[in-house]
Amino acid sequence: MGRETKDPSPAPRLPGSPTRPHPELAVGVGRYVVLYLHSPREKHWGALLQMDAAGLWLKGIELESFDAWARELTSDEPGHMGLTTFFVPYLRVDKVTLDERVGPMPSLKERFEAITGKSVEETLGGEV
């Protein structure tokens, strides 16, 4: 005389499939991402330019320098910081995450726009 238990309802599925995620959730070329590297440990933010079998190309900046770079763009002083284009082999990649808002925390792109009053695309003049 055991109690019958119902299976909990399945978790809601997002559109897409395991092999083809929903476009809004996909890490891909043209998206802004945070790249976590190891050996040595580093974090970079930027636009994903290319992905191939060997690694990925990013136009970005070290995360530690992000706020200073954004503030430098608002000053009248000549700038010394900027985004660089670099290749990272997959051997160094720990993870790649989309630069997206998490609850009340803005994405880095949104943070940049709040600091500078301009969009990243407008600031870079179509470089990405």
Residue 5, domain member (yes or no): no
Residue 66, domain member (yes or no): yes
Residue 10, domain member (yes or no): no
Total domains in the chain come to 1
Domain that holds residue 55: 28-124
Q: Find the CATH number of the domain harbouring 50.
A: 2.30.30.100
pTM for the full predicted model: 0.76
Residues 6+ apart with CB under 8 A from 99: 31, 32, 33, 34, 45, 107, 108, 109
Residue 11, domain member (yes or no): no
Q: How far is CA 77 from the centre of its chain?
A: 28
Distance CA 82, CA 28 (A): 22
Residue 112, domain member (yes or no): yes
The predicted-structure confidence for 94-112, as pLDDT tens digits, reads as follows 999 999 999 999 999 999 9
Q: How far is CA 24 from the centre of its chain?
A: 13
The DSSP result for 79-121, as a single string, is P----EEEEEEGGGEEEEEE---BTTBPPHHHHHHHHHSS-HH
- Per the CB < 8 A criterion, the answer to whether 56 and 31 are in contact is no
The predicted-structure confidence for 27-68, as pLDDT tens digits, reads as follows 778 899 999 999 999 999 999 999 999 999 999 999 999 999
Read off the tokens for 2.
């055991």
* DSSP 8-state code for residue 69: H
For residue 20, what pLDDT is reported? Answer: 58
Residue 16, domain member (yes or no): no
Residue 14, domain member (yes or no): no
